[in-house]
Chain A
Amino acid sequence: MIEQAKDPVLEIHDLTVSYDRKPVLWDVDLTLPAGQLIGIVGPNGAGKSTLIKSIMGLTPNSSGYVKLFDKNLKDVRGKISYVPQKESVDWDFPASVLDVVLMGRYGKLGLFKRPRKADKDVAMDALRKVGMEAYINRQISQLSGGQQQRVFLARALAQQADLYFMDEPFAGVDAATEKAIITLLREMSARGNTVVVVHHDLQSVTQYFDWVIMLNMRLIASGPTEKVFNTELLQETYGGKLTLLSDVGELIRRERFPSREQKRKKELKQKK
């Protein structure tokens, strides 16, 4: 079930991505609405990170096209921010928390220019938002996993972008921090920013996201959470792998979502 957004911030058309000629994403075709908090779910190896990477132009072999704000990536890079999966860097690197967050300003600075006071202020502000202002001079290897995650988040915030892609920002983060971060992301989307988050915890999907993308090599669903986050589509996304499935079904019902029958009817109507 793929619902198209009006005035999309992101439009993906027939995207196929392969590694070593082996496609890992097939024919993804979707649009995303502005100003929403959007979740991407799917099992390990489903291609969630790959989807984000290819939107950011980081995968070499892809066909189809991606439009951001109706433009090509290179014309709107300044408006887009990216939080890679935390494991993608060496945290033993001799850099301080502030060094890393300042990297968020590099794109705006351009070639040869050094970060100035104003950039430092933005970086400090971002650190305050994620509750890491006490750690600015700490070397990054001396942070806990959750703190490292928050530094990455602060770096993205320092970019002051309009559209954010975050690859598992909640991995290894404790419950309190997760709450704080999700509140922050909510505020951002309330201000009109679009935030796309790869997420693994299905229990919290209905609570967190306005819009959900379900992925398993193919695009299974993309649409408003209450419309697409249902047992059938989850079944289709996770196959037999999901033991939690019945619990999720339970959860969906408890959240007083429209019953499955009604949903069926609606879908049938839309198909017509």
Chain B
Amino acid sequence: MNALQIIIAGSLVAISCGLLGCFLILRKMAMVGDAISHAVLPGIVIAFMLTGSRDSVTMLLGAGVIGVLTTFLIEFFHTKGKLQTDASIGVTFTWLFAIGVILISVFAGKVDLDQECVLYGEIAYVPLDLWITDTGTIMGPRVIYISASVLVILLLFIGFGYKELFLTTFDPAYASAIGISTITWHYLLMGAVSLTTVASFEAVGAILVVALLIAPPATAYLLVDDFKKMLILTSVLGVIVSVCGYYLAAWLDGSIAGAMAAVSGFFFGVAFIYNRLMVKKSSKVKPSKTAI
């Protein structure tokens, strides 16, 4: 039962992160998830100082707001400052993270808080954190409900906005020329990334989220030529990673998140080697794709 709950939670998060990751790597913004995981620290501290509350909703709100702000700043430095996207991401999150560190050190006496307590969620605890209604009914693990809601929101978002997201990712200038607002879709996507990463950090931990945002989409990118197939393969990989990761951890008696992240890295390695071999075999027909 516990195994199933952990695997379900892991799969839900993996699918959500993977779907967004597909867009992020093609927009050359793969590290945005990593940036958000660090940048939200001041948001959590400020949320705590303002409300004095440490319940997870307050923390998530604080983190979510800063998450969106992070993506704004990244875009701002990129467009206004003519900075490369990766440099812009690097500058933004290190700076925000530093502010968080300073806030914690200055208010060290009053704030019993660090990033870990909220953001480094642990997937192994999923079955323990139950949602119990006011009437006392036990509904099951809270994380599963949260992750499932996030996934439903994402599926609706991508389902309805598919062609706009696809076009603004591939050719933003043309999109603007035919009247599709690149900026709007950029921020909708970044909002979705913020929501998903922040909710998922709490559920399964930051390292796993960053791994799931990048490794399965990068693996799928190497294996298929079609964007829809890339989204589907990424989702399937997410589930496989989650199952294999859980049993690897059980067998090693080690960290579940670590094992899942390792499995996703392993799949990427296999796909990479396969891709190289295919390129060698038919060196002319299929030009090599450079991984991110």
Q: A94-B221, A112-B160 are in contact. Are A141 and B177 (CB under 8 A)?
A: no
Query: Is A64 located at the chain interface by the 8 A CB criterion?
Result: no
Query: Is B224 located at the chain interface by the 8 A CB criterion?
Result: yes
Q: Which residues of A contact B (CB under 8 A)?
A: 53, 56-58, 74, 77, 80, 82, 84, 88-90, 92-96, 99-100, 103, 106-107, 109, 111-112, 114-115, 139, 141-142, 155, 159
Interface size on B, residues (CB 8 A): 31
Q: How far is the CA of A74 from the CA of B178 in the complex (A)?
A: 9
Q: How far is the CA of A219 from the CA of B225 in the complex (A)?
A: 44
Number of A-B contacts (CB under 8 A): 81
Inter-subunit contact A106/B163 (CB<8 Å): yes
Query: Is B180 located at the chain interface by the 8 A CB criterion?
Result: yes
Q: A94-B226, A94-B227, A139-B226 are in contact. Are A106 and B290 (CB under 8 A)?
A: no
Inter-subunit contact A56/B167 (CB<8 Å): no
Q: How far is the CA of A95 from the CA of B176 in the complex (A)?
A: 19
Inter-subunit contact A111/B286 (CB<8 Å): no
**Distance in Å from the Cβ of A85 to the closest Cβ of chain B?**
9
| A–B pairs, 10, beta carbons within 8 Å | A80-B177, A82-B174, A90-B26, A92-B289, A92-B290, A99-B166, A103-B167, A107-B178, A109-B163, A155-B174
Q: Which of B162, B171, B180, B230 has the most CB of A within 10 A?
A: B171
Q: A58-B176, A107-B179, A114-B163 are in contact. Are A93 and B170 (CB under 8 A)?
A: yes
Q: How far is the CA of A118 from the CA of B221 in the complex (A)?
A: 30
Residues of A within 8 A of B169 (CB): 93
Residues of A within 8 A of B164 (CB): 106, 111
Inter-subunit contact B285/A95 (CB<8 Å): no
**Distance in Å from the Cβ of A51 to the closest Cβ of chain B?**
14
Inter-subunit contact A103/B286 (CB<8 Å): no
**Distance in Å from the Cβ of A244 to the closest Cβ of chain B?**
31
Inter-subunit contact A89/B171 (CB<8 Å): yes
Q: How far is the CA of A93 from the CA of B163 in the complex (A)?
A: 15
Inter-subunit contact B163/A56 (CB<8 Å): no
Q: How far is the CA of A10 from the CA of B136 in the complex (A)?
A: 70
Q: How far is the CA of A82 from the CA of B172 in the complex (A)?
A: 12
Query: Is B173 located at the chain interface by the 8 A CB criterion?
Result: yes
Q: How far is the CA of A77 from the CA of B289 in the complex (A)?
A: 35
- Counting from the closest, the 10 A-B pairs by CB-CB distance are A107-B178, A139-B225, A82-B177, A56-B177, A77-B179, A94-B227, A89-B171, A112-B160, A93-B170, A84-B173
Residues of A within 8 A of B171 (CB): 84, 88-89, 103
